[in-house]
Structure 1
Amino acid sequence: MQLTPHILPTANAIGDLLAARIVDRMTAKGDAPFLLGCPSGRTASPVYAALTRHAAEGSDLSRLVIVMMDDYVVPDARGEFHIVDPEASYSCLGFARRDILAPIAEACAAAGTVPPTELWTADPKAPEQFDARIAAAGGIDLFLLASGDSDGHIAFNQPGTPRATKTHIVDLGEATRRDNMGTFPEFTHLDMVPRNGVTVGIDTIARLSAEVAMILCGEHKREAFARITTAESYEADWPATIVTECRNAELLVDREAAALPV
Structure 2
Amino acid sequence: MTLQPIVLPDASAVGDAVATTILDRLAATGNRPFLLGCPSGRTAMPVYRALARHAARGVDLSRLVIVMMDDYVESDALRRVAPDLSYSCLGFARREIVAPIGQDIEVWVPDPADPSRYDEVIDAAGGIDLFLLATGAGDGHIAFNQPGTSRSARTHVTTLGEATRRDNMGTFPEFTTLDMVPTRGVTVGVDTIATLSREVIMIVGGAHKHAAFSRIARAEAYEPDWPATIVVECKNPTLIVDRPAFEGN
- Normalised-by-shorter TM-score class: over 0.9
Structure 1: gaps (5+ residues): 106-114
Give, as a single letter, the amino acid of the residue that structure 2 aligns with 1:95.
Answer: F
Deviation at 1:260, TM superposition (A): 6.7
Deviations 1:53-87 (A, max 9, x none): 110111111100000000000143xxx31100111
The answer to whether the aligner puts 1:220 opposite 2:208 as a matched pair is yes
Equivalent in the alignment of 1:156 = 144
Equivalent in the alignment of 2:83 = 86
Q: Please tell me whether the aligned partners of residues 146 and 214 of structure 1 are also in contact (alpha carbons under 8 angstroms).
A: yes
Equivalent in the alignment of 1:28 = 28
Q: What secondary structure is seen at the aligned counterpart in 2 of 1:139?
A: coil
For residue 133 of structure 1, the aligned residue among 121, 131, 140 is 121
Deviation at 1:117, TM superposition (A): 2.1
The answer to whether the aligner puts 1:199 opposite 2:187 as a matched pair is yes
Q: What secondary structure is seen at the aligned counterpart in 2 of 1:176?
A: helix
The answer to whether the aligner puts 1:40 opposite 2:40 as a matched pair is yes
Give, as a single letter, the amino acid of the residue that structure 2 aligns with 1:245.
Answer: E
Deviations 1:218-242 (A, max 9, x none): 0011111110011100000000000
Q: Please tell me whether the aligned partners of residues 65 and 116 of structure 1 are also in contact (alpha carbons under 8 angstroms).
A: no
Equivalent in the alignment of 2:94 = 97
RMSD of aligned Cα (Å): 0.9
Deviation at 1:127, TM superposition (A): 0.3
Equivalent in the alignment of 1:239 = 227
Equivalent in the alignment of 2:108 = 120
Deviation at 1:116, TM superposition (A): 3.3
Q: Please tell me whether the aligned partners of residues 2 and 232 of structure 1 are also in contact (alpha carbons under 8 angstroms).
A: yes
TM norm structure 2? 0.98
Deviations 1:233-253 (A, max 9, x none): 000000000000001000000
Deviation at 1:257, TM superposition (A): 0.2
Deviation at 1:40, TM superposition (A): 0.2
- Output the CA distance in 2 between the equivalents of 1:120 and 1:180: 21
Give, as a single letter, the amino acid of the residue that structure 2 aligns with 1:83.
Answer: R
- Output the CA distance in 2 between the equivalents of 1:36 and 1:58: 20
Equivalent in the alignment of 2:156 = 168
Q: What secondary structure is seen at the aligned counterpart in 1 of 2:111?
A: coil
Q: What secondary structure is seen at the aligned counterpart in 1 of 2:133?
A: strand
Q: What secondary structure is seen at the aligned counterpart in 1 of 2:35?
A: strand
Equivalent in the alignment of 1:6 = 6
TM norm structure 1? 0.94
The answer to whether the aligner puts 1:74 opposite 2:62 as a matched pair is no
Equivalent in the alignment of 2:170 = 182
Q: What secondary structure is seen at the aligned counterpart in 2 of 1:256?
A: helix
Percent identity over the alignment?
66
Deviation at 1:156, TM superposition (A): 0.1
Equivalent in the alignment of 2:56 = 56
Deviations 1:151-189 (A, max 9, x none): 000000000000000000000000000000000010010
Q: Please tell me whether the aligned partners of residues 3 and 251 of structure 1 are also in contact (alpha carbons under 8 angstroms).
A: yes
Does the C-alpha gap of structure 1 residues 116 and 18 become closer, same or farther in structure 2, counting only changes over 3 Å?
A: farther
Structure 2: gaps (5+ residues): none
Give, as a single letter, the amino acid of the residue that structure 2 aligns with 1:243.
Answer: V
Q: Please tell me whether the aligned partners of residues 215 and 251 of structure 1 are also in contact (alpha carbons under 8 angstroms).
A: yes
- Output the CA distance in 1 between the equivalents of 2:32 and 2:116: 24
Q: Please tell me whether the aligned partners of residues 75 and 182 of structure 2 are also in contact (alpha carbons under 8 angstroms).
A: no
Moved over 6 A (4+): none
Give, as a single letter, the amino acid of the residue that structure 2 aligns with 1:162.
Answer: S
